[in-house]
Amino acid sequence: MEFLIRAAEILQPNTPLHKVKKDILISNGKIAKIEDQIDFDGQIVSAEYLKVSAGWMDMRAHYNDPGIEHKEDLISGTQTALSGGFTDVVLLPNTDPIVSTKNGISYYQRFNESAQVTLHPLAALTIDCEGKEITEMIDLHTAGAVAFSDGLNPVWHTDILLKGLQYLQKFDGLLINKPEDKLLTSFGHMNEGEVSTMLGLKGMPVLSETVMIQRDLSLLAYAGGKIHFSLISSAESVELIREAKAQGLRVTCDVGVNYLKYTDADLSDYDTNLKVNPPYRTETDRLTLIAAVKDGTIDVVVSDHTPHDEECKKLEFDLADFGSTNQQTFYSVMLEVFGDDLDALIDRFSTMPREILGLENSQIAVGNDACLTLFNPSTQWTFDAKTNNSKSVASPLFNSELNGSVVGVVNKGSLFLNEYEA
């Protein structure tokens, strides 16, 4: 397959090509030429204000496959990822059965053989993600697990977390933990504060997050290794991680894209699509998270794509499940939050996830495999039943008109173009 990307502004920070407009010729899955102008008679992808970067990687998504496919499956999930601009997706292990065996890893590897998106499975740190007994981590690493996590569940058992950090050092593996003390969030539905009091809902305190981060950082300093905190949500968490980095600890973290847009004040009409865990916190927290993405304290922005069927969301607020579907609207939210600054932050969801996971980075250079995301900040589109590729409609942005769209994705030798952009 051969095609030309015409006059696209390349976003590749810290390289001579950054913010330079070029033609890019793709031939047989490789970048064949990068020049000011290339004569070509075949398929041409072009658009005013077209931009291109290394393929985007979502470091946290839940496709519920195998076992819970009525919420999402690998086919609908990868179509959603492509529409959202992602060439690579890291999947949580909280399926049925839990991803804790070599067969569980190979399930995704077989799918990757024919899929345009590359799926990277996380393996469970503990058996059944219950936090009681460690899995066969060396075997799972050898089989292809990119990191170890209990996914939706925090690692509550202190000794298990300590042993996990120690065992992972045998192959420089990464432990990913969601910082939450569940004893402090039991029966909670939103951020604990003035808004939860006014709405009459039990709150989930910031302390539930920071006490876990403090514990994990203490164990990291004691045992060594490296840890990644997934879905931090508070200003206090940012400061703890900033201090740990200054001390030289091997710690990284991510934030969900919607935490940069929403606060607990947005829950005033009890929209269950805004019920997430950790909860959206205050405006001060939101602004601190945005600043931390800009200064690099927060290494990665993830979609936190957690799709649900309507039966789990069209309920009273206190009965609805946590989570929303966010992959397809990822770029539009990022553009709304960061505007023109987004060009300099493109590595937060392209190269940085790969660096943290120890994967080969995708650089835009002649001779390299073409793994690219094409996008346009000037267009508008409507996220509705026609454009949505997920099985889930559990999004606070459903039926909204959004600015900025993904034009397409180049990966594994093929070109995907969004229908509403083609």
Whether the CB-CB separation of 392 and 321 falls below 8 Å is answered with no
Residue 394 included in any domain: no
166-172 LR contacts (CB < 8 Å, sep 24+): 166/223, 166/224, 166/225, 167/134, 167/137, 167/138, 168/137, 168/225, 168/226, 169/224, 169/225, 170/138, 171/138, 171/141, 172/226, 172/358
Whether 422 has a pLDDT exceeding 60, the answer reads no
pLDDT tens per residue across span 35-80? 999 999 999 999 999 999 999 999 999 999 999 999 999 999 999 9
Whether 375 has a pLDDT exceeding 80, the answer reads yes
Residue 335 included in any domain: yes
Q: Same domain for 48 and 59?
A: no
Whether 394 has a pLDDT exceeding 60, the answer reads yes
Rounded-to-integer distance, Cα 230 and Cα 253, Å: 6
Q: Same domain for 344 and 245?
A: yes
Question: Would you place residue 420 in the very low, low, confident or very high pLDDT band (cuts 50, 70, 90)?
Answer: low
Q: Same domain for 317 and 413?
A: no
Q: Which of 23, 58, 304, 321 is catalytic?
A: 304
Q: Tokens 């590359």 identify what position?
A: 118
Q: Same domain for 218 and 342?
A: yes
Q: Same domain for 155 and 18?
A: no
Residue 389 included in any domain: no
Predicted pLDDT of residue 343: 96
Active site residue 172: no
157-161 LR contacts (CB < 8 Å, sep 24+): 157/126, 157/131, 157/132, 158/215, 158/219, 160/125, 160/126, 160/131, 160/132, 160/133, 160/134, 161/215, 161/216, 161/219
Residue 331 included in any domain: yes
Predicted pLDDT of residue 384: 97
Whether the CB-CB separation of 281 and 234 falls below 8 Å is answered with yes
Number of structural domains the chain divides into:
2
Q: Please name which of 246, 238, 253, 255 lies closest in space to residue 221, comparing C-alpha atoms.
A: 246
Report the pLDDT averaged over residues 204-230.
98
Q: Same domain for 237 and 171?
A: yes
Range of the domain at 275: 55-357
Whether 303 has a pLDDT exceeding 80, the answer reads yes
Q: Same domain for 45 and 189?
A: no
For 65, residues 6+ apart whose C-beta sits below 8 A from its C-beta are: 72, 73, 74, 77, 95
Residue 390 included in any domain: no
Q: Same domain for 72 and 30?
A: no
Report the pLDDT averaged over residues 221-233.
98
- Can you give the CATH number for the domain in which 20 is found? 2.30.40.10
Residue 422 included in any domain: no
Q: Same domain for 25 and 65?
A: no
Please give the backbone phi and psi of residue 133, each rounded to the nearest 5 degrees, phi first.
-145, 130
pTM of the complete model: 0.97
Predicted pLDDT of residue 362: 84
Predicted pLDDT of residue 12: 95
Predicted pLDDT of residue 421: 56
pLDDT tens per residue across span 322-369? 999 999 999 999 999 999 999 999 999 999 999 999 999 889 999 999
pLDDT tens per residue across span 85-118? 999 999 999 999 999 999 999 999 999 999 999 9
Report the pLDDT averaged over residues 179-183.
98
Q: Same domain for 129 and 159?
A: yes
Q: Same domain for 122 and 28?
A: no
